[in-house]
Amino acid sequence: MKQQPIGVFDSGYGGLTVLKEITAKLPQYDYIYLGDNARSPYGPRSFETVYEYTLQSVKWLFSQGCNLVVLACNTASAKALRTIQQHDLPAIDPHKRVLGVIRPTTEIIGRFSKTGHVGILATHGTVISESYPIEIHKFFPGIQVYQEACPMWVPLVENNEYNSPGADYFIEKNIHNLLGKSGEIDTLLLACTHYPLLLEKIKKASPAGMTILSQGAIVADSLADYLNRHSGIDANCSKNGQIRFFTTDSTEDFDNHAAIFYGQPVKSAHLAL
Ligand code: DGL
């Protein structure tokens, strides 16, 4: 039977925290994960560059039989998704779909906050795109959104320093800055796929009673709902429970790091983009 996996894309490892939740929720589907590690991080890159790299990766996933691709990367979702959906997909194949991680989160975030003040922790690229405030206000016009760019958090995770005292320093500093913007923030969103690895330290640095949301489970629930509502797309996804991993950088490095994000051993293949 023809393989029609669901493509899951990230600039590197972070999307594996999303894939982990997706495969737990929807184990019957086939998946291809692509990490563009050779060109990560995307966070500090321009709109044009993130768009170009993301489109190239999406096209490769399409060439592998994917009809549905999830951008499991906030920076790519913020800087490339809309253009790909509106400009590229109609020309490439109007039956293919690309989804991101921002909408699933923004459409429910308002339900978690009692004060109506929420804080977004993200990469510099995601923050300056203003995607979170714009999208949240579409669903919850009355919610106040405060953002904090945390440029050191991805490098801390990528360099295996996420358990070190150095990580505490940067996490405390960014949480302090964010909470300084409003004393009423009661909900924090980890709007970067790397940040779940820092969850314990983020909790430690936050006041008691703060609601802290990771995206993996939210995106998995949203994808399950999407497939339920779109039976034609669901029928175009093969279901043999197979997962394949590709990286644009060293497979040895990827396999060594990936297990931390995915929670189990990973064996990847190399892809030159
Ligand atoms: N995966 C990216 C995100 O979720 C973080 C890493 C990067 O900057 O490339 O925003």
Cis peptide before 41 (omega within 30 of 0): yes
Tell me if 42 CB under 6 Å of ligand 1: yes
The CA 180 to ligand 1 mean position distance, Å, reads 25
Helix (H) or strand (E) holding 22: helix 15-25
Catalytic, 192? Answer yes
Q: What percent of the chain has pLDDT over 90?
A: 96
User: Is a pLDDT exceeding 60 seen at residue 114?
Assistant: yes
% pLDDT > 70, the chain: 100
Tokens of 126: 């995601």
Q: Is the CB of 45 under 6 A from ligand 1?
A: no
CB 105 less than 6 A from any atom of ligand 1: no
* pLDDT digit string, tens, across residues 233-270: 999 999 999 999 999 999 999 999 999 999 999 999 99
* DSSP-assigned beta bridge partners for residue 245: 33, 268
Dihedral angle of Cα 80, 82, 88, 92, to the nearest 10 degrees: 100
162 CB-near residues (< 8 Å, 6+ apart)? 156, 197, 198, 201
Ordered domains of the chain (ranges, CATH) = 6-101+217-270 (3.40.50.1860), 103-214 (3.40.50.1860)
For 64, the token pair is 């592998």
Both tokens of 27, joined, read: 């184990």
Q: HEC string of 136-194?
A: HHHHCCCCEEEEEECCCHHHHHHCCCCCCHHHHHHHHHHHHHHHHCCCCCCEEEECCCC
**CB atoms closer than 10 angstroms to residue 108:** 15
Q: Annotated catalytic residue: which of 66, 73, 150, 237? A: 73
Q: What is the pLDDT of residue 158?
A: 84
Distance CA 90, CA 83 (A): 11
CB-count burial class (<10 Å; 0-12, 13-18, 19+) for 232 = exposed
150 included as an active-site residue: no
Distance between Cα 154 and ligand 1 center (Å): 7
Q: What is the pLDDT of residue 1?
A: 56
